[in-house]
Amino acid sequence: MTNTSTYYVVAPIDGIHLDFDYRMYSAEVYGCPPNYIPNPKGCSEFRQPYEYLGSFTFKQYKQLSEEWKIDHKTLHNLEQVPNRKLRDFTCIALEIELDRTDYTSVEDEAINNSLFQHIINRGEQFLDVWRLCLFKPGEDFSIGSFGAIGNGVQCFWLGKNDIAPKFIARKISRYQLVQQPVDVVLSKFGTIYADITFRSLCTAAFTYPSNPEIINRLFDALRAFRESRDISNWEARFRHLAAIAESLARKYDKERLQGKQLRERIAKISTHGWELYEHYGSSVLTPSGLQREQYKLIRKRYQEIGWNDEDEAKDIIEDLWDNVRNSLAHTVNTVTSLQRDPLKDMVNMERVIVTMINGIHTAYQVQEFYVGSIYDILIDNK
């Protein structure tokens, strides 16, 4: 990529309430009212633009559009959002390398649209790591979208050094699902703060796509998992999740797996991988400052999501693929025709995905201590 340039991005995150600030790699996440306690010393890199830009309501942006090069489509979209400020939301600020040096001043709508989608996609990758590590199979919450501020509108500020920043907002959906925000409080943050997957993938999100192929495949799986959470139709969502598991089971993209070989591969990666993840997570030094109650939460997560043993996983996975996956694939059958418990099936399928992603990532982390490839570790590990 030629003529690359470093920018900063400041964006809101709807659907999550932090009562603290947190720095992950070189990104900073700022909490929001009502119980927010700022940490200026720990998160100081982007605090000045975050606080300055966050002091204006979205309705005031029209008055500042000349100075900040806000395009007409953005101004039109802002007429449809609540009269709030960035600082009313949990926000994320991060550095990003882009392929042009003039993005803060260019006014071409096609370029702005392309830039908008690129940054939204990159921002969602950071949140995908949070989604994975906060998620428990069967739960119906979602932490929301990168840049979302209501009524289907997503937005962000793009800045560079001392140059006047640029604000872009686009309405990407005709509707927006409304739910209670997820509260993540510092006193119970241990389950994610001490997670080896969280800390490592947060770093990898910055270097994407310049990561090993297996890590980029995990980000593809995380994106697909996020998309599955927005599918309301049970059959469509189940097919979507099954495809993720089958993709993760392949050692390489074009490997052909089917039948018993596919089911056994999924079961081994799911069980052996989670055992490896739990063992490695329990043996490495965890971050300082965790309280006894937080360690209990971490242990509880290991026990609730993991399988009792490989036989349990094999039985459940064979059942899902023989009696649900195959009955729904390439047909117009509905879940009601199967006479099963759809909630239980969905929880088990989500459990398969979460354990596979964590397991594959852990095998990548400890590969140097084993003989063979990442998949050799997962398939042969006992």
CA 163 to chain centre: 30
| Separation of alpha carbons 251 and 235, rounded Å | 27
Token pair in block for residue 135: 């998620």
pTM, two decimal places: 0.92
| Separation of alpha carbons 382 and 368, rounded Å | 18
| Separation of alpha carbons 238 and 227, rounded Å | 12
- Of residues 298 and 217, more confidently modeled: 217
Per the CB < 8 A criterion, the answer to whether 355 and 273 are in contact is: yes
For the segment 76-134, what is each residue's pLDDT rounded down to a tens digit? 998 888 889 999 999 999 999 999 999 998 888 899 999 999 999 999 999 999 999 98
Task: Give the residue from 242, 245, 238 showing the smallest Cα distance to 268.
Answer: 245
Average pLDDT of the residues in 354-382: 91
| Percent above pLDDT 70 for the chain | 97
Per the CB < 8 A criterion, the answer to whether 125 and 205 are in contact is: yes
Q: Which amino acid is at 245?
A: A
Burial 147-181 (b: 16+ CB within 10 A, else e): bbbbebbbbbbbbbeeeebbbbbbbbeeebeeeeb
DSSP assignment of 130-143: HHHHH--TT-----
For the segment 311-364, what is each residue's pLDDT rounded down to a tens digit? 999 999 999 999 999 888 888 888 888 889 989 999 999 999 999 999 999 999
For the segment 7-42, what is each residue's pLDDT rounded down to a tens digit? 999 999 988 899 999 998 889 999 999 899 999 999
What pLDDT score does 381 carry?
66
Per the CB < 8 A criterion, the answer to whether 208 and 125 are in contact is: yes
Average pLDDT of the residues in 265-280: 94
Show the CA angle centred on residue 294, arms to residues 25 and 43, nearest 5°.
Answer: 30
Surface-to-core class of residue 329, CB atoms within 10 Å of its CB (0-12 exposed, 13-18 middle, 19+ buried):
middle
HSE value, Cβ hemisphere, 13 Å, CA-based, for 28: 21
Residue 1 is inside which H or E element, if any? none
What pLDDT score does 300 carry?
87
- List CB contacts of 211: < 8 A, sequence separation 6 or more: 204, 219
| Separation of alpha carbons 157 and 182, rounded Å | 24
In this prediction, residue 139 has a pLDDT band, given cuts at 50, 70 and 90, of: confident
For the cut 60, the answer to whether the pLDDT of residue 1 exceeds it is no
HSE value, Cβ hemisphere, 13 Å, CA-based, for 349: 26
3-state secondary structure of 46: coil
